[in-house]
Amino acid sequence: MPGNIPRIKYLNYPILNNVEPMSGIMKMKFLVIGCGFIGRIYLDALTRIDDAEAVAVVDTDLDKVRSVAKRYNIPKYFTDWRNALELDVDVAAVCVPVKYHKEITLEALKRGINVLCEKPPALNSSEAVEMMNAATKYRRILMYGFQWRFIERCIYAKRLIESGVLGKIYKVRIHYLRKEGFPSWSGSWLFRKELAGGGILIDCGVHFIDLIYWLLGRPKPKAVFGVQHDYLGRNIEGFDVEDTYSGVVVFEDDVCVSMEYSWSQIWHEEFTLNIYGTRGSIRLFPEVELVRKEDETYLKIIPELKEPEDYWLEANYQKIRHMVGLLKTGEYQDITPNPEDGVEVMRIIDGLYESSRKLASVKLS
């Protein structure tokens, strides 16, 4: 029998007009929790933002956190995030293994601190609901680190879709396949389900599920089906997650999203994202290309986008700058990866994992 994951009943959400704005503050004080790869990207970005600064960092590795604090000229460092949350800060940037996202986020919100939490939001949708409800209760901003929304070509696609230029969107295809691309920079925690919640799907796939969910205007997911494998990762010590995932998500109005993700395959790397409509289609990766049909003529358009070569890093900077803007206004925007988005994306992830366990489709009611 196929599974059935109920749609969450939200606690008085959204709360766009109930968050306390911080417009009188000159510089937003950031506490960066986690000094790994992502944490250092946050710190690099903060050095470029005039009205924000990192005032403290946290990492369980004393030598690492001391070195990072010195490198970025940060006055305070801690090995225990609980002690760090006693500081007078405006934002806690949570850049730690997924297992700890909920605990740190809940405590920060309880103390009146806004939170920018890295992806995925949590281990599952139930945790994401707790985090969302805490943001509502304590009237604080909770934003997730889905930076792909802030890439220029993705914003361009969003505008095209909303304008109706592509007609009705009915299909999306995503291939994100690495060649021997296991994320060794993170150590081993991404390979352990207890810490990460899963493998390639919840690590990388979650980015593109969120991106498509936003691009399509936050449609309700109806059903999912997926299959996962660990053939290439199982020989790595402590590896107990999937290294490959293939799946389908069906949204309302029967929009079908097919996806393939892999950390490592014995083939060329492949990254493509195509969106198909009744009047036109767009390819976002690797290069941007738009095809439209007018009468019986097909028009190929290559848009001129002023993206930096390292657009992924630029998107991380833009998302942190966006968080600073949210703090000043107290209002989420359409592009904001907000708490409810986090819940919906995690419902899809939950459903896909359930489907691959049962080898059956799962309805998301």
The helix (H) or strand (E) run that includes residue 284 is strand 280-285
Interatomic CA distance for residues 210 and 278, integer angstroms: 23
Distances (CA, A) of 46 to 40, 133, 250, 263, 320: 10, 28, 38, 29, 8
Q: Are 201 and 230 a contacting pair, CB within 8 Å?
A: no
The domains of the chain, with CATH numbers, are 3-147+315-336 (3.40.50.720), 152-306 (3.30.360.10)
Structure token pair of residue 312: 């992924």
Residue type at 38 in one-letter notation: I
Tell me the C-alpha distance between 54 and 27, whole Å.
10
> What does the pLDDT profile of the chain (365 residues) look like in tens digits?
334 433 333 333 333 334 555 656 679 999 999 999 999 999 999 999 999 999 999 999 999 999 999 999 999 999 999 999 999 999 999 999 999 999 999 999 999 999 999 999 999 999 999 999 999 999 999 999 999 999 999 999 999 999 999 999 999 999 999 887 676 644 578 899 999 999 999 999 999 999 999 999 999 999 999 999 999 888 888 899 999 999 999 999 999 999 999 998 888 899 999 999 999 999 999 999 999 988 888 899 999 898 888 999 999 999 999 999 999 998 999 999 999 999 999 999 999 999 999 999 999 97
d(CA 363, CA 292): 34
Q: pTM to 2 decimals?
A: 0.92
Task: Please state, in angstroms and rounded to a whole number, the distance separating the CA atoms of residues 105 and 234.
Answer: 32
Which H/E stretch holds residue 62? Answer: helix 62-71
Residues whose CB is less than 8 angstroms from the CB of residue 159 and which lie 6 or more positions away in sequence, other chains included: none
